[in-house]
Amino acid sequence: MTELILSRLQFAVITSYHFMFVPLTLGLGVLVAMMETWYVKTGNEIYKKMTKFWGKLFLINFAMGVVTGIVQEFQFGMNWSEYSRFVGDIFGAPLAIEALVAFFLESTFLGLWVFGWDKLSKKVHLITIWIVAISSNISAFFILVANSFMQEPVGYILRNGRAEMTDFLAVITNPHVIYQFPHTVLSGFVTAGFFVMGVSAYHILKKNHLDVFRRSFHIAVVFGLISTLGVAGVGHLQGMHLVKSQPMKMAAAEAHWETENPAGLSLYASIDEQGKKNNFEIQIPSMLSFLSYNSFTGEVKGIHELQNTAVQEYGPGNYVPPVASLFWSFRIMLTAGMWLVLMAMLGLYFYKTKAYEKKALFLKLLLWTIPVPYIANIAGWFLAEVGRQPWIVYGLQRVEHGVSTSVSMLSMLIAFVGFMLVYIALAVADVYLMVKFIKKGPEVANKDEHLNSEVKGASLWT
Amino acid sequence: MDLNILWFILITVLFAGFFFLEGFDFGVGILLPFLGKNDQERRVIINTIGPHWDGNEVWLITAGGAMFAAFPNWYSTLFSGFFLALFLVLVSLIIRGVAFEFRSSDSSPLWRSTWDWMIFTGSFLSALLWGVAMTNLVKGVPIDAKMQYVGTFFDLLSPYAIVGGLTTLLVFMFHGALFLSLKTTGEMAKRASKAAQSIALVAIPIVIVLAILTYLQTDIFASLGAGITLVSSGVALILAFFLIRSHKVGWAFIMNGLTILLFTLSLFWGLFPRVIVSSLDMKWSLTIYNASSSPYTLKIMTIIALVMVPIVLLYQGWTYWVFRNRVTEKNLHY
């Protein structure tokens, strides 16, 4: 193993791990804020119970997102210092803005929300959770602006041996982020929608707190369905954009070796990566042209031609990312997405016909569907990041030129193993707590309510 | 004044703010197992910083982001050079962060004491390592002509840096004890105040040693301003000790806060216009000019920072106002 491989492995694990928590935060924050809105509007205590129950799960998940996010920000400098020097002039800005604009809001107002139930008026308390929900989504925007620069560099000039920003507006309105942001945020909403649906289904099956979980189910199924359809729609537009901006990524994700017009979509392919061909494939004719251009004709460039173009442009080298893993991660994401659309539609239908409480199998399926959005999320990021290979910044810097040169293999190994051990332990604790609070239902989350008694506190200065 | 200087000042402010704010919650975390005799008391202690620690930590995240945006070479050289030290800081921050959230979520004594020790360990290591890191920046570390760190982890553990680490550790503990004394009532407030006095008695000589070593081993005193601030920081610490002895807790807290702010200021002032001193050759040091972003990026970031920082200060200040009351066992609702 080399420093490069170890750093790549660490980045992949740490970033994927962080992203196990982020999507739920993005969506569940909005859902909890909606529940509390209903509470404030109607004064119905059931909504307060709901808010507190889902809020507790939100907090456990949020804490994991926050602490793993710190590593996220610092690992660019630790393991990828040459990359950081090269793009810092551009890449650092959205990170700093994310902290200044979003993290401060998020963390400060979350503290107010958690500890402020009896210190703030109902309305102000409601505003605090909306600020948390909105600012976490703003933070998603800025980190995706940063990622989009790696995918599709814009608004820069190569000067002084690095990429320097020339147009801030272009950087934050990067065409890539215009698609990536809604796609990512909506997948977060989907994750939360199915999380709430699945947990509600579990309790409805057990006939626990039906007042809380029927309402939760209703909110989640509507929220989940709209978001699922949104992800799919935006995903299609994003795919069309990627065919233009990162044709190699899409060609590899389709295992599309030869340029064709019209091009067929492979549902299944037996990929021979060494021989650079597919031994066997099952195709829908013209479908790839349609997905690329919304038209059944149109030339879709193949991997071979794109490799030749890249050699002419950037010099000799291999510009083909790992085809089979991209092909399959793309298909995992799509299959998961179709499953989620189906489940959300069925869920809404059964809810409207009031049949869902008797459909034990369906409710169980919903419970087992909770992991599906997570799988889709990770597969999607895998496609985005592995599909960028061999580049760390598309067309500008190759991955091997971004890694730190002053860090020894031993140091990297110590950090990698150390992070893994800590992360595994935290995952165990997190899952334990999540499952515990999910199983116990609303009451436990509120068990300390009697301590809420009014206390005349002394002021700080007496 | 050019924007490079402005950003250096802003990063100084961010670190000073981070040490001032997170300083007391590191201190509270370190004192947790010693001042909290039972579970109720430990919850009181944790709740004094409960609503704040996360917001306080964002000061560091913002400082990191600001370094990346304004001085990418500083960010890159420092974080790759101090790799293992930073790894330890990150692990410390991770374990104490989740511990605050997780410890009250289960009532088993083993669960709680495990997380309480995580809070202690995470706070202790962070408090110590920040001092080590800061003093290394001014003392100088082996940086070559290409801005690369060429030393090892153990080069960072010179006696001077260790005294630096002990300084932040003790000053933050003192800060935490004073904060606890302010935010609690009765027996707990008294206990915290007593702890504060004993900690200060150890902290004062250490700070004096640090000041002497700084004079001998760095060029901080070459800058008159930095020298004066460093000495004033020590004086403020001694005053804080006398204030807490006469039970003026609020004033002692302010005075020790001043110690932290002046201490941070003196290190950055002494560093200026360098950002990392090279011990191999002074002209290989990173400065606010050779480490900086382009003028355009600095301009954009300046506009954003000048708008956002006052807003952040306003609402963070407001949360301290909302939670201005002391925490007692009767209002432990979380």
Cβ within 8 Å, pair A406-B183: no
Q: Name every chain B residue with its beta carbon within 8 A of the beta carbon of A409.
A: none
> Which of A100, A117, A459 is facing B325, going by the closest CB pair?
A459
What pLDDT is recorded for position A353? 85
Is the torsion defined by CA of A237, A243, A248, A253 positive or negative?
positive
Contact A94, A154 (CB under 8 A): no
Does the structure show a pLDDT above 50 at A51?
Answer: yes
Interface contact flag, B98 A426, Cβ < 8 Å: yes
Mean model confidence pLDDT for chain A: 89
Phi/psi at B249 (5° precision): -65, -45
Nearest to B72 among A60, A85, A430 (CB): A85
Residue spans of the domains in chain A: they are 3-245+355-452
pLDDT at A443: 67
- Give the C-alpha separation, B67 to B76, whole Å: 9
Query: A390 by DSSP, 3-state: which?
Result: coil
DSSP code at position A430: H
Show the CA angle centred on residue A21, arms to residues B105 and A340, nearest 5°: 115
Mean pLDDT calculated for residue range A69-92: 92
Task: Tell me the residues of chain B between 227 and 256 that have a Cβ less than 8 Å away from chain A.
Answer: 250
**Per-residue tens of pLDDT for chain B, all 334 residues:** 689 999 999 999 999 999 999 999 999 999 999 998 888 889 889 988 888 888 888 889 889 999 999 999 999 999 999 999 999 999 999 999 999 888 888 888 899 989 999 999 999 999 999 999 999 988 888 888 888 888 888 888 999 999 999 999 999 999 999 999 998 988 889 999 999 999 999 999 999 999 999 999 888 888 888 889 999 999 999 999 999 999 898 999 999 999 999 999 999 998 889 888 888 888 898 888 998 889 999 999 999 999 998 898 888 888 888 887 777 776 665 5
Secondary structure (3-state) at A453? coil
pLDDT tens per residue, range B175-233? 999 999 998 988 889 999 999 999 999 999 999 999 999 999 888 888 888 889 999 99
| B151 CB within 8 Å of a chain A CB | no
CA distance A127 to chain B (A): 13
What the block records as the tokens of B122 is: 């995470």
Q: What six digits make up the tokens of B150?
A: 């060429």
Residue A101 contacts B, CB cutoff 8 Å:
yes
Is the pLDDT score of A455 beyond 60? no
Give domain limits for chain B: 3-331
| Contact state of A84 with B250 under an 8 Å Cβ cutoff | no
pLDDT of residue A91: 92
How far does A100 lie from chain B, in Å, by closest CA? 6
Query: B61 and A70: CB-CB below 8 Å?
Result: yes
Determine contact: B95 vs chain A, CB below 8 A: yes
Provide, as residue numbers in chain B, all residues whose Cβ is less than 8 Å from the Cβ of A414: 84, 87
Q: Does A420 contact B at CB distance below 8 Å?
A: no
Q: Which helix (H) or strand (E) holds A392?
A: strand A391-393
Q: Per-residue pLDDT averaged across A301-318, rounded?
A: 91
Q: Which residues of B75-103 are buried (b: 16+ CB within 10 A; e: fewer)?
A: bbbbbbbbbbbbbbbbbbbbbbbbbbbbb
Give, rounded to a whole angstrom, the gap between the first and last alpha carbons of chain A. 62
Chain B within 8 Å of A73 (Cβ-Cβ)? yes
For position A1, what pLDDT does the model report?
56
Q: Which of B24, B61, B304, B314 is the best substitution to test chain A (most A C-beta atoms within 10 A)?
A: B61
What is the reported pLDDT for B67?
93
Residue A444 has pLDDT above 80, yes or no: no
Contact (CB, 8 A) for A61 and A434 = yes
Q: Which two tokens stand for residue B167?
A: 């300084």
Task: List all residues of chain B from 36 to 55 with a beta carbon under 8 Å from chain A.
Answer: 47, 50-52, 54-55
Q: How far apart are CA B255 and CA B249, in angstroms?
A: 10
- The residue of chain A nearest to residue B72, with distances taken between CA atoms, is A88
Asked if A461 is an interface residue toward chain B (Cβ–Cβ < 8 A), one would say yes
CB burial of residue A345 (10 Å; 0-12, 13-18, 19+) = middle
Query: In this predicted structure, what is the pLDDT of residue A445?
Result: 44
Q: Is B293 on the interface with A (CB under 8 A)?
A: yes
Restricting to B residues 257-276, those with a Cβ less than 8 Å away from any Cβ of A are none
CB contact under 8 A, A100 and B68: no
CA–CA separation, A412 and B80 (whole Å)? 10
Structure tokens at A270: 């037996």
Closest approach of B231 to chain A, Cα-based (Å) = 28
- Each residue of A167-220: pLDDT tens digit? 999 999 999 999 999 999 999 999 999 999 999 999 999 888 888 999 999 999
Q: What's the CA gap between A88 and B67, in Å, rounded?
A: 9
Query: Which residues of chain A make contact with B94, given a CB cutoff of 8 A?
Result: 67-68, 70-71, 422, 426
Residue of A67, A76, A407 with shortest CB distance to B97: A67
The answer to whether residue B316 neighbours chain A at the CB level (below 8 Å) is yes
Helix axes B53-70, B3-35, angle to 10 degrees: 150
Distance from CA of B130 to the nearest CA of A (A): 15
A59, A84, A118 ranked by CB distance to B68: nearest: A84
Neighbours of A332 (CB within 10 A): 17
Q: Averaged over A74-85, what is the pLDDT? A: 93
Q: A347 to chain B nearest CA, in Å? A: 32
For A310, residues 6+ apart whose C-beta sits below 8 A from its C-beta are: A248, A317, A319
Tokens 């996360």 -> residue: B54
- B149 in A contact zone (CB under 8 Å): yes
Buried b vs exposed e over A218-239: b needs ≥16 C-beta within 10 Å?
bbbbebbbbbbbbbbebbeebb
CA angle centred on B87, ends B135 and B302, rounded to 5°: 65
Question: Hey, is the C-beta of B182 within 8 angstroms of any chain A C-beta?
Answer: yes
Q: Which two tokens stand for residue B75?
A: 């960010």
pLDDT exceeds cutoff 90 at A280: no
At A227, the pLDDT band (50, 70, 90 cuts) reads: very high
Residue ranges of the alpha helices (H) in A163-315?
168-172, 175-205, 210-245, 247-253, 287-293, 303-314
Contact call for B68 and A95, based on CB within 8 A? yes
How many Å apart are CA B100 and CA B40, to the nearest integer? 15
The torsion angles phi and psi of A166, rounded to 5 degrees, stand at: -120, -20
The rounded distance, in Å, linking the Cα atoms of B127 and A172 is 37
Q: How far apart are CA A332 and CA A223, in angstroms?
A: 23
Q: What does each C-alpha distance from B242 to A250, B113, B249, B260, B265 come to in angstroms?
A: 70, 35, 10, 17, 23
- Alpha-carbon distance of B231 to B262, in angstroms, equals 9
> Cα distance from A234 to chain B (closest Cα, Å)?
30
Look at residue A191 in the predicted model and tell me its pLDDT.
97
Quick check: B50 and A111 CB within 8 A?
yes
Task: Give A298 or B15, the one with higher predicted confidence.
Answer: B15
- Which phi and psi (to 5°) does residue B142 adopt? -65, 100
Summarised one tens digit per residue, pLDDT across range A232-275 is: 999 999 988 998 899 999 989 888 888 888 888 888 888 888 88
Residue A453 pLDDT class (50, 70, 90 cuts): very low
What backbone phi and psi angles, to 5 degrees, belong to A154? -140, 160
Residues of A in contact with B182 (CB under 8 A): 460
Phi-psi region of A299 (alpha: psi -120 to 50; beta: other; left: phi over 0): beta
| CB contact set of A344 (below 8 Å; sequence gap of 6+) | A193, A194, A221, A224, A225, A228
A236 in contact with chain B, both atoms CB, cutoff 8 A: no
Decide: A315 and A266 in contact? Cβ < 8 Å. no
Q: Which of B39, B68, B156 to mutate to test the interface with A (most CBs of A within 10 A)?
A: B68
Residue B297 or residue A281, greater confidence: B297
pLDDT computed for residue A127 by the predictor: 94
Residues in chain B closer than 8 A to A411 (CB atoms)? 83-84, 87, 153
3-state SS, chain B, equals: CCHHHHHHHHHHHHHHHHHHHHHHHHHHHHHHHHHCCCHHHHHHHHHHHCCCHHHHHHHHHHHHHHHHHHCHHHHHHHHHHCHHHHHHHHHHHHHHHHHHHHHHHCCCHHHHHHHHHHHHHHHHHHHHHHHHHHHHHHHCECECCCCCECCCHHHHCCHHHHHHHHHHHHHHHHHHHHHHHHHCCHHHHHHHHHHHHHHHHHHHHHHHHHHHHHHHHCCHHHCHHHHHHHHHHHHHHHHHHHHHHCCCHHHHHHHHHHHHHHHHHHHHHHHCCEEECECCCHHHCEECCCCCCCHHHHHHHHHHHHHHHHHHHHHHHHHHHHCCCCCCHHHCCC
Which of A408, A422, A461 has its CB closest to that of B250? A461
CA atoms within 13 A on the CB side of A431: 7
CA atoms within 13 A on the CB side of A395: 18
pTM of the model: 0.90
Contacts of residue A407, defined as CB under 8 A and 6 or more positions apart, other chains included, come to: A3, A78, A79, A81, B80, B83
Each residue's pLDDT tens digit, A358-384: 888 889 999 999 999 999 999 999 999
CB contact under 8 A, A73 and B94: no
pLDDT at A81: 93
Residue B142 touches chain A, beta carbons under 8 Å: no
Whether A9 contacts chain B with CB within 8 A: no
> Which of the four pLDDT bands, split at 50, 70 and 90, describes residue A118?
confident
Structure tokens, B194: 């007593």
Q: Are strands A156-159 and A162-165 parallel, antiparallel or unpaired?
A: antiparallel
CA-to-CA distance for A99 and B65, rounded, in angstroms? 7
A293 pLDDT higher than 60: yes
Chain A residues 380-419 within an 8 A CB cutoff of chain B = 404-408, 411-412, 414-415, 418-419
Give the pLDDT confidence score for residue B217 in this predicted structure: 87
Neighbour tally for A355: CB within 10 Å: 11
